[in-house]
Amino acid sequence: MQGFINLFKEANFTSHDCVAKLRGLLRLKRIGHGGTLDPAATGVLPIALGRATRLLQYLHPDKAYKATIRLGVVTETDDLEGEIISQTPEVKVSLEEVTETLKQFTGKLSQIPPKYSAIQVQGKRLYDLARRGETIEVPPRNVEVYKLEILEWRSGDYPEIDVAIDCSTGTYIRAIARDLGTVLGTGGTLAKLIRTQSAGFSLLDSLTFDELTLQLQQGSFRAIAPSAVLQHLPRATLILPLAQKWCQGQIVAGDEEVLSNCPVQVYLEDGDFLGIGHQEDLEVRRLIPDLVYEPM
């Protein structure tokens, strides 16, 4: 029970609910997740088991989503879970206008997160402040949308557009829906959200709770190894004597092929994963331990 699960989060579950349910299924206390999903959203939720929870900070940060944006509706939470603030039926907007406006939402953006979100401001969660009716200025965040593709357009009183979005961590798709509606002058909110990729995990390979339960009953469940999850990081390999020193917290000779000052996954020459380090380039490259996963 050391490694990762590519879990399919179902609707009406919080990310915390998923962790709690997994603790019961796996009879394991030390479980964490790699990126919150709103209760109404579905899709990929990376799960770390046992020692692998220490590796969550090193997962690939980029994510991908499929989203449905509804125009003509504004809600408190920027999605259909919240109270409706305003509605504008018979929205007069064309696909061509939407397509042109969406170009503003690619690249590097300064984005104001929804006031109902898990971000902490002054030590308090925004959703807790919002539920108490407290008004607080939410600082903008720098995010990046790498790709935004229109999948389908449905006209009507409240037009809807399906989009595929590849983005950096910290990007709120609800904020994109809200801001698109603001720029168009129609109002907008998020109607549906599926996370299709996260931390290198894909929706196609995700496990539902039912599938996981069946694997556990059949004895076929195997956690995903760290080596399969950390492929975006450079790799250094150590011979046994150096590996032993490194796992004891000592600095050893580094790899000339690996860049300095970035996380490096470290392996024993037989392929065993040892942990995460970084290199310093002084007179010679030095490999410094940051996280020893498997003491020797």
Give the strand pairing for 263-268 and 235-238.
parallel
What pTM was computed for the model? Answer: 0.90
pLDDT of residue 205: 94
Asked if residue 96 and residue 50 are part of one domain, the reply reads no
Whether 38 sits among the annotated catalytic residues: the reply is: yes
pLDDT of residue 260: 73
Asked if residue 132 and residue 190 are part of one domain, the reply reads yes
**What confidence tens digit (pLDDT) does each residue in 30-77 have?**
999 998 888 899 999 999 999 999 999 999 999 999 999 999 999 988
Range of the domain at 265: 233-292
pLDDT of residue 258: 75
Asked if residue 70 and residue 37 are part of one domain, the reply reads no
Segment 148-164 shows an average pLDDT of 95
**What confidence tens digit (pLDDT) does each residue in 284-293 have?**
788 999 999 9
Q: What is the spatial distance between Cα 162 and Cα 169, in angstroms, rounded to a whole number?
A: 21
**What confidence tens digit (pLDDT) does each residue in 63-76 have?**
999 999 999 999 98
Q: Has residue 177 got a pLDDT over 80?
A: yes
Q: Please count the structural domains in the chain.
A: 3
Asked if residue 129 and residue 23 are part of one domain, the reply reads no
pLDDT of residue 119: 66
**What confidence tens digit (pLDDT) does each residue in 225-246 have?**
999 999 999 999 999 999 999 9
Asked if residue 190 and residue 104 are part of one domain, the reply reads yes
Selected residue with higher pLDDT from 15 and 281: 15
pLDDT of residue 89: 83
pLDDT of residue 117: 65
Asked if residue 184 and residue 73 are part of one domain, the reply reads yes
Q: Which of 17, 38, 270, 290 is catalytic?
A: 38
Asked if residue 174 and residue 68 are part of one domain, the reply reads yes
Asked if residue 79 and residue 189 are part of one domain, the reply reads yes
pLDDT of residue 128: 65
pLDDT of residue 50: 95
Q: What is the spatial distance between Cα 113 and Cα 265, in angstroms, rounded to a whole number?
A: 33
Nearest C-alpha neighbor of 159 from the set 74, 86, 91: 91
Mean pLDDT rounded to a whole number for the chain: 91
Taking the CB of residue 248, how many other CB atoms lie within 10 A of it? Answer: 11
Q: At what angle do helices 209-218 and 15-26 cross, to 10 degrees?
A: 10
Tell me the three-class secondary structure of the chain, residue by residue: CCEEEEEEECCCCCHHHHHHHHHHHHCCCCEEECCCCCCCCEEEEEEEEHHHHHHHHHCCCCEEEEEEEEECEEECCCECCCCEEEECCCCCCCHHHHHHHHHHHCEEEEECCCCCCCCEECCEEHHHHHHCCCCCCCCCEEEEEEEEEEEEEECCCCCEEEEEEEECCCCCHHHHHHHHHHHHCCCEEEEEEEEEEECCEEHHHCECHHHHHHHHHHCCCCCECHHHHCCCCCEEEECHHHHHHHHCCCCEECCCCCCCCCEEEEEECCCCEEEEEEEEECCCEEEEEEEECCCC
Asked if residue 156 and residue 137 are part of one domain, the reply reads yes
pLDDT of residue 132: 65
Question: Could you give the percent of the chain with pLDDT greater than 70?
Answer: 92
Q: What is the spatial distance between Cα 296 and Cα 247, in angstroms, rounded to a whole number?
A: 6
The CATH number of whichever domain residue 263 belongs to comes to 2.30.130.10
**What confidence tens digit (pLDDT) does each residue in 114-137 have?**
876 666 666 666 666 556 666 677
81-90, 119-128, 196-205, 280-289 — which one is most confidently predicted on average?
196-205
pLDDT of residue 23: 96
Q: What is the spatial distance between Cα 44 and Cα 55, in angstroms, rounded to a whole number?
A: 18
Q: Has residue 9 got a pLDDT over 90?
A: yes
Asked if residue 97 and residue 158 are part of one domain, the reply reads yes
The CATH number of whichever domain residue 21 belongs to comes to 3.30.2350.10
pLDDT of residue 279: 87
Asked if residue 41 and residue 151 are part of one domain, the reply reads no
Segment 135-154 shows an average pLDDT of 90
pLDDT of residue 116: 67
Q: Has residue 113 got a pLDDT over 90?
A: no
Asked if residue 142 and residue 107 are part of one domain, the reply reads yes
Among the listed ranges 88-92, 125-129, 174-178, which one has the minimum average pLDDT value?
Answer: 125-129
